[in-house]
Structure 1
Amino acid sequence: MDIVPLDVPGARQTVELENPQGIFYKIRVGGEVIKRTKGGWSVPLRNGSTAKIKSQGFIPGFQALYLEDKKIYDMGAGVQLPERIAIFAPLILLIWVPFGLVLGLILFFMGIPGVKNQQMPRGLRIALPLINTVAAAVILTLITGRIGIWG
């Protein structure tokens, strides 16, 4: 399990981000997972008040966490533009057959942890979603006998 400490000044206990390299993540306070309520996570402070951690970002797994208006963690910080573009390649499958969209979404979400994995060579992080897309397109073509726009 991948855990990253978050800097929350005045927090009563340690605040951590669980699974920052994946799609779904959790915020933990003192080792316990806290639930998201009213658009963010409430972290108890030593002075008796609470701080609010909020997430911003549209693409799952690439959000940034903010404490008040200060960025405290960016889940996609190490991913450059070519990798971000390549991750969308599986969505091209929606032009193959109607259920190509489902396969494209599955491959999109499966590719996010691979693209974010800094231990893999950068070329492989770019090539992997593209290779998976081509392989899926070939398989869909062989299964359905049709190419492109449901023809």
Structure 2
Amino acid sequence: MWIVWALLSAVFAALTAIFAKVGIQGVDSDLATLVRTVVVIVSLALFVWFTGKWSNPFSFSAKTWVFLTLSGLATGASWVCYFRALQIGDASKVAPVDKLSLVLVAIFAFTFLGERPSFRDWIGIAMVAGGVLLLALKR
């Protein structure tokens, strides 16, 4: 089932770029990111509550808190940079460069998590990197 969720993630990520590009016209990108973040927080809080998944976050381990905090900071930085890029660049160029994260995830997972993609996987990852460059450098 992970593939279904991953495909849905890709669809929503694509919609994010389109909706954001339209939504940030005439608005400061940092303020737009804040508004988007508030919408995400409220939506997720309601989702967690209504699906009965709420539990006490203060019972999380210190390690969980550290890494969720780092993940949150990275997400915030990514969103600020993404919205700024969308405000000044074409969505059709910004989104592919943003997807360079796929290549970076593979490299970071190899380096820090001990994951070992196959040779075929590395070929696919290299193809994604090439595609990003091809799309980003088009005139």
Query: Structures share a fold, TM > 0.5?
Result: no
| Higher alpha-carbon Rg | 1
| TM-score after normalising by structure 1 | 0.29
Ranked by relative contact order (alpha carbons within 8 Å, sequence separation 6 or more), the top structure is 2
TM-score, normalization: structure 2?
0.31
* Richer in strand (by share): 1
